[in-house]
A and B are shown apart, each in its own frame.
Chain A
Amino acid sequence: AQSVTQLDSHVSVSEGTPVLLRCNYSSSYSPSLFWYVQHPNKGLQLLLKYTSAATLVKGINGFEAEFKKSETSFHLTKPSAHMSDAAEYFCVVSATSGTYKYIFGTGTRLKVLA
């Protein structure tokens, strides 16, 4: 079975400061992991994905995430927040065998302060 936990429901940062959104996962098989972003009243956009290649994954808009198997984590980071980063972020896990399900975390709402 798979599950994903986003450790913070809300995160506030000042513009220009680093962003850290935390995600822990559980999977019976080698996982694939994804981060999605949803701006207010918009659809979901893929930020980045991990599928068993490099453990440090770079995505769009300066975001990156590091897969740490020993910690079962896949935290999302950005060196410098921009006002346009204010949105809800979702961590997603799927297994590489046994099921075709994609399981979402409950989301982290990022607020960027001027």
Chain B
Amino acid sequence: DAGITQSPRHKVTETGTPVTLRCHQTENHRYMYWYRQDPGHGLRLIHYSYGVKDTDKGEVSDGYSVSRSKTEDFLLTLESATSSQTSVYFCAISDRGQDSPLHFGNGTRLTVT
């Protein structure tokens, strides 16, 4: 299995608080992705990174920001959590982007009360 670690695995937080999720990889892959999974929607892309300090928006980026200061770490921040951001968040990595498959972390279950 690809070396991808997401932390925390579970988190409960209150509306209006900031939350940061971390994705750490040991594969030295260039491309990293954050998705959220909700019933009936599949996985939707939030943000992705194509290199250190290089990031771009996905389909559902409002209310989220990301940072990538090192190849191995990709952080997802909810600036002010809302109940609509209750979801399961998956980090994924790819070595070439585009034609190489994604490898996924085990996910973070976030509940915003």
Chain A residues packing against B (C-beta within 8 Å): 6, 9, 32, 34, 36, 43-44, 46, 49, 51-52, 90, 92, 94-97, 99-107
Q: Is B52 engaged at the interface, CB distance under 8 Å to the other chain?
A: no
Q: Which of B40, B43, B48, B59 is most buried by chain A, counting CB atoms within 10 A of its CB?
A: B43
Q: Is B84 engaged at the interface, CB distance under 8 Å to the other chain?
A: no
Contacts A34-B101, A43-B105, A46-B101: A100 and B31 contacting too (C-beta < 8 A)? yes
Which of A36, A100, A101, A106 meets B41, CB within 8 Å?
Answer: A106
B98 touches A95 (CB 8 A): yes
B-side interface residues, number (CB < 8 Å): 28
B45 touches A103 (CB 8 A): yes
B104 touches A90 (CB 8 A): no
Query: What CA separation (Å) do A47 and B98 show in the bound complex?
Result: 17
B102 touches A96 (CB 8 A): no
- Shortest beta-carbon distance, B61 to chain A, in Å? 12
A102 touches B99 (CB 8 A): no
B97 touches A100 (CB 8 A): yes
